[in-house]
Structure 1
């Protein structure tokens, strides 16, 4: 029995529920960010125009700079949402001990693991399948598929080699892995097909059986990771997407590394910039986030003068220029947080039922912000996540209980936040005795 496609209202409600559920957990929603974003129209426009350039075959990047509480992670998630809407595949990677900037292989691995499209999460296999299907369709349409499946398979394997000729001149392994995947998938040998996708994604546990069948020795390493990334972007574009948009978040963690690791990290960054500027990564867009210290401190990129010169900006006082290499995000203030709260009320009304604006009034929202900031040294910029969790709780109680009046009943009790506070939040929290 066929199930009808959900109508627009159902999809909108489902998205609204996803947004509210994420805010209730204190996380950034996976979709629908345009419904709660405030004050970033100019910056979004700059990102959109860069993506149009990349879709036409360019390569580009942007550094997102801001203190804690300026919403860097939210902004890059919104930027990736814009990219998805324009037909890009995306990946959001956080610099961490498991994915240090100093190790290109680990970054490539995380990009593959977090690859998404508008239709699919963990999208590497789907993208490869779409690419191979497009090759077959092109061969059949051109009358080059021959007679029978065997002839089509042989012709498709030649096309795989041709499509990756530039990569294969330096390393034949990617084409060999894709050819092995194609054969195994057509033969119904799904363990080998799965191993092929895993090897392409630089997963560390791929067994000897696959490597023998593919004629491959070793694995993706730091020296070949960016070559493989270029091949992946080529596949993504040939599969029908505009390109790949990658967010690499929390670059400031690099400052805590030992000197040799920091230097390798900055070399990796320079390699990416050189490849984009040199036209060697068409259809690829990078977003990086970092705190001001990452850009300006002696342990940050200021310590590498050529790199610092490449991405530094002309200071322009009041009139910020987001077309420069860096977009400078300002800290959250009370006005922005109030606007977000009002947008959240609209989303909540779509997810459940219309919010009672008399109980959840402008006056209550301002009073609630004041109560929470009072426990965090008056710092509005550190409380958006906490405020929104608390605010969703208030909206829930108003929706569940007819006699709940938050103006009388709401008090900010910080005790339940134990273990849930981030380092920056805990640092400014006022301890009560």
Structure 2
């Protein structure tokens, strides 16, 4: 596996700061093959439609952040959306689920996005509704009023299940 110069510089810079780099971790990962293998199996299970929750626990310096960052990197390469939130840092804890959820949403990452991926995900969702209106419903792209109406109707269809389960979330998506 070839190490790109930009990745090497990113790794060295992060290590100088005492943090785990966001990419290129496979170039210097040693001694965690067993743990990483278990997590890759969990990732494969999720990819096949199952849900999983896995907590990683260990002493200071045992490599928790490193192995989770490496798993996030692997998940991103498989087109997953990932979020990493450290409990008890910046007020994130299981005792404040609203704050924890806020942290999860703020830390969302997706392949090809920089920073918070939520806006990008929502933009892709709206774009998919627009493509559906143009390609399936044959709405002319240059008829802005008709396109806006068709996209709104398509979004309402997509939100029907969300409305039943989480009406306030559906309202937030509509507003976006």
Class of the TM-score when normalised by the shorter of the 2 chains? 0.7 to 0.9
Q: Is the 8 A contact 1:160 1:175 kept in 2?
A: no
Structure 2's unaligned 5+ residue stretches are: none
* Deviation string, structure 1 residues 220-254 (Cα, Å, up to 9, x no partner): xxxxxxxxxxxxxxxxxxxxxxxxxxxxxxxxxxx
Q: What RMSD over aligned residues (CA atoms) do the two structures have, in Å?
A: 2.0
In 1: Cα distance, 2:34 partner to 2:121 partner: 32
Secondary structure of the structure 2 residue equivalent to 1:60: coil
TM-score normalized with structure 2 length: 0.87
2:127 aligned partner? 133
Over 3 Å counting, the alpha-carbon distance change for 1:104 and 1:129 in structure 2 is same
* Residue in structure 1 matching 2:108, options 93, 98, 115: 115
Which structure has the larger Rg over C-alpha atoms?
1
Q: Greater relative contact order (Cα 8 A, min sep 6): structure 1 or 2?
A: 1
Q: Is the 8 A contact 1:144 1:155 kept in 2?
A: no
TM-score normalized with structure 1 length: 0.37
Secondary structure of the structure 2 residue equivalent to 1:100: coil
Pick the structure with more strand per residue. 1
* Deviation string, structure 1 residues 96-138 (Cα, Å, up to 9, x no partner): 2522211221111111111111212211111110111112112
In 1: Cα distance, 2:173 partner to 2:162 partner: 13
State whether structure 2 residue 23 is matched by structure 1 residue 54.
Answer: no
In 2: Cα distance, 1:53 partner to 1:144 partner: 38
In 2: Cα distance, 1:69 partner to 1:167 partner: 42
Secondary structure of the structure 1 residue equivalent to 2:85: strand
1:172 aligned partner? 167
| 1:273-422 alignment runs, 5 A limit | none
Over 3 Å counting, the alpha-carbon distance change for 1:66 and 1:98 in structure 2 is closer
List structure 1 runs of 4+ shifted beyond 4 angstroms: none
Over 3 Å counting, the alpha-carbon distance change for 1:132 and 1:76 in structure 2 is same
